[in-house]
Amino acid sequence: MDLPDLSSVSGNDLSDEQLRGILAQIDLDITNLLRDGKLSALRYGTPGEQGALTDRAANLRSLLEARSMYQKLLESRPTWITTQAGCCS
């Protein structure tokens, strides 16, 4: 059953590792979409199923938008850069 609202939903922020995993999955989905055949605006899916039809161009656009959002989220995180100073002899 669908939730009526988000009041009962809770969770933790995604870790950098989880964000990188999401980006890797999106990259894989984009690669598979492009390898599946020629990218076109033609609809594809299983005939007779309601809502199963879409087009590759729309899917690619959605994946690219999602990738951009997750990439920006990852890049907005504070980072630590550590260096080890060399010692003089």
Q: How many domains does the chain have?
A: 1
Residue 25's pLDDT is what?
Answer: 95
Query: Is 88 a domain residue?
Result: no
Query: Is 50 a domain residue?
Result: yes
- Mutual orientation of helices 16-35 and 56-75 as an angle, nearest 10°? 160
Alpha-carbon distance of 39 to 59, in angstroms, equals 10
Query: Is 68 a domain residue?
Result: yes
Cβ 33 vs Cβ 59: under 8 Å: yes
Partnered with residue 54 across adjacent β-strands are 44
Query: Is 2 a domain residue?
Result: no
CA 71 to chain CA centroid, nearest Å: 8
Scanning the chain, the segments in alpha helix (DSSP H) are 16-35, 56-75
Predicted confidence pLDDT, tens digits, the chain (89 residues): 888 888 988 999 899 999 999 999 999 988 888 876 655 545 556 666 665 566 777 888 999 999 999 999 999 988 777 777 766 65
